[in-house]
Copies of this chain bind each other. A is one copy, B any other.
Amino acid sequence: MNHHQPEMIDALYTWLPYSSCVKSNGATPRVIVAAMTDENGQDYVAPSERIAVFDNGGTLWIEQPIYTQATFALDRVKQLAPQHPEWKTTAPFQAALAGDMTGVAASGQKGLVEMLLATHTGMTAEQFSDTVTTWLAGARHPKFKRPYTELVYQPQLELLAYLREHGFKTFIVSGGGIEFMRPFTQRVYGVPPEQVVGSSVKTEFQMKDGKPVLVRIPEVNFIDDKAGKPVGIYEHIGRRPILAFGNSDSDMQMIQYTTAGEGRRLGLFLHHTDADREYAYDRKSHVGTLDKALDEADANGWILVDMKKDWKSVFPE
C-alpha cells in the first residue's frame, strides 16, 4: 500500500465544510497540524509530544456488517469444532456453527466473550499471530469481496502518513484485540506493533521442552473500550495525545481525554454516511454506534468527518 499518494493534500482539503467547528476556530485539520508544527507559532508542540491516536474498526478499516474480528472468531469456531463435540449443543457455539447470528447475539456479552476466549487462546503468541495472518490472507468481505486489509480507508492512510511526515508518532487505540491487529498494522497502516493498544487476554510465560514460550490464557486481561481507552493510553503511551480520531461513542472518552489537555488539540469522528461506497450508520447501529458523540461534537469542538461529502475516495484502488 502506498502511503504517499499524490491526492493527499486534496483529501485533507475536502474537510473544509467543518469550518463551523467552535474549538478548532474554523480551521481544517491540515491548518491545525500546520499550527502545531510551526516552530514560531503559539500552538507549537515539540515533536516528542506529537502523539496521535486512531481507533481501528470503523475509523481505519471497515467494521460492517459485523466486526472483522467477530468474523474471524466465527470462522475459528468452525475450524476448531471437530476438537469440541460439545459445541454442537452449547450456546453460543451451536448458533455460530449454524451461521445463526441472531442466536449468537442472543447469548449476550457473556456468550461473546466465551466465544472470543475459546477461539483466541490456548496457543502460543507466535501460533496465534500465524493464525491471524493466514486467516486475513484468505478471508473476503461479504459485500466487497476483497481482503479485509484492503478495506482500509484511503484518506486515513494519507492522514497517518501526513502526520508522520510532520513528526507525529501514530498509535492505534482500539477495542479490538491487540494481537489480532499487530500482525498487519505495520504493513497496512505503517504502525509498528509497539504502537498498537487494544484489548487483551492474559498471557503466561512457560518453559516447553526447554524453550521459553508465551501461552495465551482464556481470561480477559484488559478491555480497551470506552473509559478503558484513556486508561490504555496511559498504560501504553504514558502521555496525553494531541490528536485523536474515532467513529463511535466508544471513542468519546479517548477524544475527551485528548482534547481536554493544554494547548491546541484535535478530536475527530468519522461519520459513516455513504451507503453506496461503504455503509451509512450512526445512532441505531449495532456496531460503531454514534449517538451521544454526534450530539456533543459541536459543543466540544470535535470535527465530524462526513464520509460521503468529505472523502473523494474510500478504499485504496
Contact = CB atoms under 8 A, between A and B. Distances in A.
Contacts of A84: none
Interface in A145-183: 169, 171, 178-179, 182
Contact of A48 (B192, B235, B260): B192
Contact of A212 (B48, B182, B260): B260
Nearest to A48: B192
Contacts of A253: 205, 212
A237 interface: yes
Contacts of A186: 48
A196 B236 CA distance: 8
Copies in the complex: 2
Given A194-B169, A253-B205, A257-B205, A182 B238 contact: yes
B260 A234 contact: no
Interface residues of A, number: 36
A230 B204 CA distance: 9
A203 interface: yes
Contact of A194 (B125, B212, B214, B236): B236
A284 interface: no
A74 to B, nearest CB: 25
A63 B182 CA distance: 35
Given A48-B186, A193-B237, A200-B235, A211 B260 contact: yes
Contact of A193 (B182, B194, B238): B238
A256 interface: yes
A231 interface: yes
B212 A257 contact: yes
Nearest to A194: B237
